[in-house]
Amino acid sequence: MTAPDTSGQLAEQLLRLTRRLHRAQKRYLDPVGITPAQSRLLRTVAHYEAPPRMADLAEHLEVVPRAVTTLVDALETNGAVRRVPDPSNRRVIRIELTDHGRSTLRALRDARRAAVEDVLAPLDDDQREVLGDLLAELLTGPGRNIP
């Protein structure tokens, strides 16, 4: 008799859970009027202390610059970000959050929390604590630098 493929089962469970979380998150993001990719870009812009350059965003998000341009165009149309000239180099454009963008970020945080709550609903407080400890270990243990 062969031993069960525990790693394979865990991988499949993690992938299924990730897909479930993405579906729940999308359901909560739809009323905010923003796509998951736009949400990620908006959170990335907020991560920087000073407004980032488009190239900074592309590098951070690990996408081609054209993808960032498309996302910024949509978020700018929505009023969540604006393009501003770099004070030290007029040829460089930086991306800045607007008040509407900050408000959208708050709505996004609420939507993400609600999505996670949907997924974690079957777990009691003790189980959530154990899951949190396990996830922290996975995130800080060996292999954490794998992209």
Segments making up each domain of the chain, as ranges: 25-140
What pLDDT does residue 1 have?
Answer: 45
pLDDT at residue 3, rounded to an integer: 52
Q: What CATH architecture does domain 25-140 belong to?
A: Orthogonal Bundle (1.10)
Q: How many Cβ atoms are within 10 Å of 71's Cβ, its own excluded?
A: 26
Specify the pTM. Answer: 0.75
Residue 60 in contact with residue 44, Cβ under 8 Å?
A: yes
Residue 62 confidence (pLDDT): 93
Q: How far apart are CA 81 and CA 34, in angstroms?
A: 13
How far apart CA 79 and CA 73 sit, in angstroms, is 10
pLDDT of residue 76: 97
Two structure tokens written together for 62: 């690990």
For residue 147, what pLDDT is reported? 54
Instruction: Please give the pLDDT value at position 143.
Output: 64
Low-confidence stretches of the chain (pLDDT < 50) are 1-2
Nearest to 96 by CA among 38, 54, 146, 59: 54
